[in-house]
Structure 1
Amino acid sequence: MPIKQSKGVVIRFVALITLIVLTILLQTALQNHPAFLRFYIRNIFTPLQQLRSYSFNVLSFSIGDIIYLLLLLLLLLITIRLIFFLFTIRKNGYDFKVELLRFLLFPVIVYFLFLLLWGGNYSRLRLSAHWNLESLKWDKTALITLNNELVQKMNREQNTPIVYTNLEGTNKIANALYHACYKDKIAQLKVKPTSLGYMLNYIGVQGYYNPLSGEAQFNRFIPPFMHPFVVSHEMAHQTGIAAEDDANLLAYVLGSESNIPEFRYSAYFNIFIYAYADLKERDSVAAKNVYALLNQQSRNDMDTLRAMNRKYRSSFRKFTNSMYDEYLKMHGQEEGLNTYSDVTRWVYFWEHSTQKKADLNVCP
């Protein structure tokens, strides 16, 4: 191999090792040094999120979706070239080595950017970190209590017909609720409709946050009664809340404490989905008794969701769920997808704690 070509391979190899070391150092510092984590949140994530919000909120389409598409095409191109050079390695040995290093560099670069732009937030303390969790017991009795209370609240909300606003209106209300909670320490929040269309229905995704662009995307095909909670959940990620149960908790607290009927009902309904499923698994008779008390409109809403899930059921969903389950476990959420339903416990503590709600501090 000519000296010039050999140098090119060495430079790329050194770049790969250097980036791996930097990634490990960054992750280690975030996880083990609270002072560095505070520096990251205050001086890296927050300014970058504000800049991205200022730049991209004016656009009606998602820059993040375009970034995902370009990254996928780039990875496909590198893979095709790598396979081609592998089968012609005698003739293209140098090109194969270069393409192999590019193939290895690709995920390292993406993960480093993910960690730098948002992923470091996985090292934050949980919202319940300072709660007095020993004051209340979480068991089947508490779960039944929570289910009954949610049913009562949904029944009360449905005494008067609920009118749902459009996505623009939902965004404005949710953004105002967050800024009232955070005292304007966060960027302006906005959730955009995804450009992925019905694809999200087939993989069972209601919304997602793009760490590279700082944008939150929303599946506009889900029913209106889901919109306020899902939008609020994705906005939680924009504020730096990484854990899924924390994002659910914050969406519940802001919705249930608001004076907006559609936000209150959406909060109660979404938590009921988790609480009822958990109770049904533990005690089907108790779950049946709870459901018998539910108003007809909320039953219709439950049926609407079931029908949607049946319509878009696919084997691909199992694959994507499995991948996301592993992703969550890799980032400290040991229960994977089950982390979402952990919110039932936190909601119960929120509603029954002897601490004042102001002291529970859900807005960091």
Structure 2
Amino acid sequence: MFPEKKKYNATWILVAAVLLIEIFKLFPAAVEYLYTNGFYKYYSQLLRKAFGWFPFSIGDLLYTIAIIVALYKSIKAVIKIIRARFSWQVTKNSLLAGLRILLAVYLLFNISWAINYARKGSAHQLEIYVDDYSVNDLQTLASVLNKKTTEAVAEIQAKDSTVWYHFPALANACRESYIEVNKKYPFINYRVLSVKPMIYGKAGAFGGFAGYYNPFTGEAQINNGMPGNSRSQVLCHEMAHQLGYAAEEEANMIGWLAGRESKNPAIKYSAYNDMLVYTIMDLRRKDTLAFKTFRDSLPGLVKKHYQQNKDYYAAYTNSMQAHLDAAYDTFLKANGQEKGKKSYRFVIAWLIAYGKKYGWEAL
């Protein structure tokens, strides 16, 4: 009886711990001060020190092992229930064991990173008020970003873009971008590099993933098979996640701030190009005529890279993506991102708020 009682007690302890975490997340100021700039700041650096020196993705291997073990345990539990002829006691114990595992993983996920979803975040740090925006705001942003991207294109020399295609050089260039942005924004303070190419890059492409942050190992990872022009900005985005910017639009904003400060024109171009594409695509949804005008005025390099990205992902389009997209959309919404996958492009609202506060030329 005693071991059974211990299992029940463990279940209730895990439930109580999860509830305490959820209550704590109701207080953004406390999360920002005690967790993001307290515990998480040092814990994440510890993870990066522990796993960053490995030349391959420990996170990918960890997920592989976890999936294999989960399948094995699930099959074993089902067989046990069938052999017991669906005994309520055996079924209940199996379900409770599964619940304890899920609660433990959820608890670790939150402690390791996900509490950051509840922080005050970049809008608070940048002192901007993020709100809905008009079509006129969108047109203004598109015009400014088009100009900035065109200027970046003019600066690019042949040797600059080689950084996209050699991962060690790319990692160092993105780290240097964060060193530069820290001079302007001290709160963006990146320490201890831990960035990796995904082991299962092609599998990620089939799932529509360009990169991801592993909260259990602290690694920022990208699909190194994607078109080169996207790689630096995706990596800057994932590095922003490492700093505790959990929301996708905020990671986009911080990644852009870092990328635009790069001394390498190709990295700078990638940052502006990424934001320009988000803006133009949003304009297409809201003002077709204005979209066509801006589309025709885009630099040739932007059009070329847009087509490259479109062709790349079209080659991996499959029937499973809709289900994976729906699952990821649900995951984001469950973590407080009401817009789900649309959160990525909601960075537009951050850019517009930034432009209104500091002047459009400050973008």
What's the TM-score, normalizing by structure 2? Answer: 0.90
| Cα distance per residue 1:147-188 (max 9 Å; x no partner) | 122222222222344532122122112223324414795431
Distance, in Å, in 2 between the alignment partners of 1:298 and 1:333 is 30
Match 2:322 to one of 294, 318, 322: 318
Counterpart check, 1:207 vs 2:204: no
What amino acid is aligned across from residue 255 of structure 2 in structure 1? A
Distance, in Å, in 2 between the alignment partners of 1:137 and 1:307 is 32
Kindly tell me: are residues 31 and 194 of structure 1, through their superposed partners in 2, closer, same or farther at Cα, counting changes over 3 Å? same
Mapping for residues 134-213 of structure 1, pairs under 5 Å? 138-159=133-154, 160-161=156-157, 163-164=160-161, 165=163, 166-180=166-180, 181=182, 182=186, 185-213=189-217
Mapping for residues 209-288 of structure 1, pairs under 5 Å? 209-288=213-292
Name whichever of 79-88 and 180-189 sits farther off.
Answer: 180-189
Counterpart check, 1:12 vs 2:7: yes
SS at match of 1:217: strand
Aligned 8 A contact 2:31 2:115 in 1: no
What amino acid is aligned across from residue 225 of structure 1 in structure 2? N
Percent of counterpart pairs with the same letter?
Answer: 27
How far does residue 85 in structure 1 lie from its aligned partner after superposition?
1.6
SS at match of 1:76: helix
Aligned 8 A contact 2:128 2:354 in 1: no
Partner of 1:121: 116
How far does residue 295 in structure 1 lie from its aligned partner after superposition?
1.8
Counterpart check, 1:71 vs 2:66: yes
Partner of 2:96: 101
How far does residue 256 in structure 1 lie from its aligned partner after superposition?
1.7
Kindly tell me: are residues 54 and 251 of structure 1, through their superposed partners in 2, closer, same or farther at Cα, counting changes over 3 Å? same
Partner of 1:23: 18
Match 1:332 to one of 320, 330, 336: 336
Unaligned runs of 5+ in 2: none
How far does residue 124 in structure 1 lie from its aligned partner after superposition?
0.8
Distance, in Å, in 2 between the alignment partners of 1:322 and 1:91 is 33
What's the TM-score, normalizing by structure 1? Answer: 0.89
Match 1:48 to one of 43, 49, 60: 43
| Cα distance per residue 1:95-125 (max 9 Å; x no partner) | 5444332211111111000011111111111
Unaligned runs of 5+ in 1: 1-5
How far does residue 285 in structure 1 lie from its aligned partner after superposition?
1.3
Aligned 8 A contact 2:81 2:90 in 1: no
Aligned 8 A contact 2:227 2:312 in 1: no
Distance, in Å, in 2 between the alignment partners of 1:137 and 1:76 is 44
Aligned 8 A contact 1:29 1:37 in 2: no
Partner of 1:3: none
Match 1:291 to one of 292, 295, 318: 295
Aligned 8 A contact 2:144 2:361 in 1: no
Aligned 8 A contact 2:49 2:194 in 1: no
How far does residue 189 in structure 1 lie from its aligned partner after superposition?
2.5
Task: Give aligned pairs, total.
Answer: 353
Distance, in Å, in 1 between the alignment partners of 2:25 and 2:231 is 33
Distance, in Å, in 2 between the alignment partners of 1:269 and 1:356 is 16
Kindly tell me: are residues 357 and 327 of structure 1, through their superposed partners in 2, closer, same or farther at Cα, counting changes over 3 Å? farther
Aligned 8 A contact 1:274 1:344 in 2: yes
